Amino acid sequence: MSGFSAEWLSLREPADSAARNLELTARLLEWRQRRGALTVLDLASGTGANCRFLAPLLGGEQHWRLVDHDLDLLARSKAEMQPWANAAGHCSLEWLHLDLVRDWERLKLRGVQLVTASALLDLVSADWLESLARRCGQWRAAVYIVLSYDGDMVWQPALAGDERLREWVNQHQRGNKGFGPALGPDAAAALATLLQQQGYAVRVQPSPWRLEPEQAAMQTALLDGWIEAAREIAPEAAGELANWLMQRRRWIECGQSRLQVGHWDLWAWPDYCE
Ligand SMILES: C[S@@+](CC[C@H](N)C(=O)[O-])C[C@H]1O[C@@H](n2cnc3c(N)ncnc32)[C@H](O)[C@@H]1O
103 CA: nearest ligand 1 atom: 20
Question: What pLDDT was estimated at residue 3?
Answer: 78
Q: How remote is the CA of residue 62 from the centroid of ligand 1, in Å?
A: 22
Question: What pLDDT was estimated at residue 272?
Answer: 56
Give residue-wise pLDDT tens across range 147-194: 999 999 999 999 999 999 999 999 999 999 999 999 999 999 999 999
Q: How remote is the CA of residue 273 from the centroid of ligand 1, in Å?
A: 30
* DSSP type of residue 174: T
Distance, CA of 156 to CA of 149 (rounded, Å): 19
Distance, CA of 147 to CA of 263 (rounded, Å): 5
C-alpha atoms less than 13 angstroms from C-alpha of 138 in its C-beta half-sphere: 10
Q: Letter for the amino acid at 86?
A: N
How many other CB atoms are there within 10 angstroms of residue 176's CB atom? 10
Give residue-wise pLDDT tens across range 185-221: 999 999 999 999 999 999 999 999 999 999 999 999 9
**Res. 1 pLDDT band, cuts 50 70 90:** very low
Give every CB contact of residue 242 below 8 A, 6+ residues apart in sequence: none
Is a pLDDT exceeding 80 seen at residue 273? no
Give residue-wise pLDDT tens across range 23-68: 999 999 999 999 999 999 999 999 999 999 999 999 999 999 999 9
Closest by CA position to 142, among listed 53, 262, 33 = 33
178 phi and psi, to 5 degrees? 105, -10
**Local structure of 191: helix, strand or coil:** helix
Closest by CA position to 259, among listed 169, 124, 175 = 169
**Local structure of 260: helix, strand or coil:** strand
**Res. 71 pLDDT band, cuts 50 70 90:** very high
Distance, CA of 133 to CA of 192 (rounded, Å): 9
Task: Choose the weakest-confidence range: 86-90, 145-149, 196-200, 229-233.
Answer: 86-90
CB distance 70 to 123 below 8 Å: no
Give residue-wise pLDDT tens across range 100-142: 999 988 887 788 999 999 999 999 999 999 999 999 999 899 9
Question: What pLDDT was estimated at residue 110?
Answer: 80
Q: Letter for the amino acid at 268?
A: A
Identify the structural domains of the chain with CATH numbers, from first to last.
6-150+178-208+262-273 (3.40.50.150)
Average pLDDT on 235-257 reads 95
Check: pTM over 0.85? Answer yes or no: yes
Residue bearing the bigger pLDDT, 237 or 17: 17
B/e letters for 92-114, b = 16+ CB within 10 Å, e = fewer, are: ebebbebebeeeeeebebeebbb
Q: How remote is the CA of residue 80 from the centroid of ligand 1, in Å?
A: 17
Q: Which residues line ligand 1 (CB under 6 A)?
A: 2, 4, 9, 44-46, 49-50, 68-70, 73, 99-101, 118-120, 178
Test site for ligand 1: of 69, 99, 176, most ligand atoms within 8 A of the Cβ: 69
**From start to end of the chain, where are the E strands?**
38-43, 62-68, 91-97, 114-118, 142-156, 200-206, 209-211, 258-270
Test site for ligand 1: of 99, 120, 127, most ligand atoms within 8 A of the Cβ: 120
**Local structure of 140: helix, strand or coil:** coil
